[in-house]
C-alpha cells in the first residue's frame, strides 16, 4: 500500500514482542532494501536467518548484499547454504552459477544454470545468463535457443531484450546461420 514508515513501525513492534520473529526481521530487511539502505537490510537478513535456518529467500537476499558490500566469500557461502536448505531453490542455484561464471568456471556455471533452468524454466535472467555461459564455451546454437526463449517469455524486460540482442549478434557472428 506504499505505507513504508508504518510497516517499519509494526515490524519493529513485532520484534519487540517476540525477538526471535524471523519473518519480521525478513520483512524489515525488505523495507530497508527498498529504501536503498544496504547495511541495515543485510543486518536484518542476518537476524532472520539466525532465527529461521530454513528461510532460503533471506539467505539469497543476504548473499546479494554481502556481495555488494564486498564480501564475496560470505555471499557465496550464503548461496550454498540456500541450496543446502532447499535443493529446489532456483534463485540459489542461479546465484551460485553467476559466481562460477564471473570466476571463469564456465563448466560449473553451466551445471548450476541447468539446475536453475529446470526449476524455473521461464525466468528470463536464468535464460539470459545460462546462454552467456554457453556462449563463453562457443556453444552458440544452445545459447541462441535460450536467448530466444528469454525473449519469448519476457519480451518487455531488460533481460528479454538483452537476450534477443545477444541472439541477433551471435547469429551475425555465425554468418547468419539459423
Grid cell for residue 30? 525488505
> What digits encode the pLDDT tens for the residues 107-141?
999 999 999 999 999 999 999 999 999 999 999 99
Tens digits of residue pLDDT in 154-166: 999 999 999 999 9
Dihedral angle computed from the Cα positions of residues 39, 43, 49 and 50, in that order, rounded to the nearest 10 degrees: 160
Domains along the sequence of the chain with CATH: 1-75 (1.25.40.10), 87-178 (1.25.40.10)
Q: Which three cell numbers stand for residue 150?
A: 528469454
Higher pLDDT, 178 or 13: 13
C-alpha cell at 174: 555465425
| Phi, psi at 175, each rounded to 5° | 80, 30
Q: Is pLDDT of 3 > 70?
A: no
Amino acid at each position: 500500500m506504499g505505507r513504508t514508515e508504518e510497516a517499519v513501525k509494526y515490524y519493529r513492534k513485532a520484534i519487540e514482542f517476540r525477538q526471535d520473529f524471523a519473518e519480521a526481521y525478513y520483512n524489515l530487511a525488505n523495507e530497508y532494501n527498498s529504501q536503498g539502505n544496504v547495511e541495515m537490510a543485510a543486518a536484518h537478513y542476518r537476524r532472520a536467518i539466525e532465527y529461521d535456518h530454513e528461510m532460503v529467500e533471506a539467505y539469497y537476499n543476504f548473499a546479494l548484499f554481502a556481495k555488494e558490500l564486498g564480501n564475496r566469500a560470505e555471499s557465496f557461502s550464503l548461496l550454498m547454504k540456500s541450496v543446502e536448505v532447499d535443493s529446489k531453490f532456483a534463485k540459489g542455484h542461479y546465484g551460485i552459477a553467476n559466481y562460477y561464471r564471473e570466476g571463469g568456471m564456465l563448466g560449473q556455471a553451466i551445471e548450476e544454470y541447468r539446475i536453475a533452468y529446470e526449476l524455473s524454466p521461464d525466468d528470463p535472467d536464468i535464460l539470459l545468463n545460462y546462454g552467456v555461459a554457453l556462449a563463453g564455451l562457443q556453444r552458440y546454437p544452445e545459447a541462441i535457443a535460450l536467448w530466444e526463449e528469454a525473449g519469448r517469455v519476457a519480451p518487455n524486460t531488460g533481460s528479454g531484450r538483452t537476450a534477443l540482442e545477444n541472439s541477433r549478434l551471435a547469429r551475425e557472428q555465425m554468418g547468419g546461420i539459423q
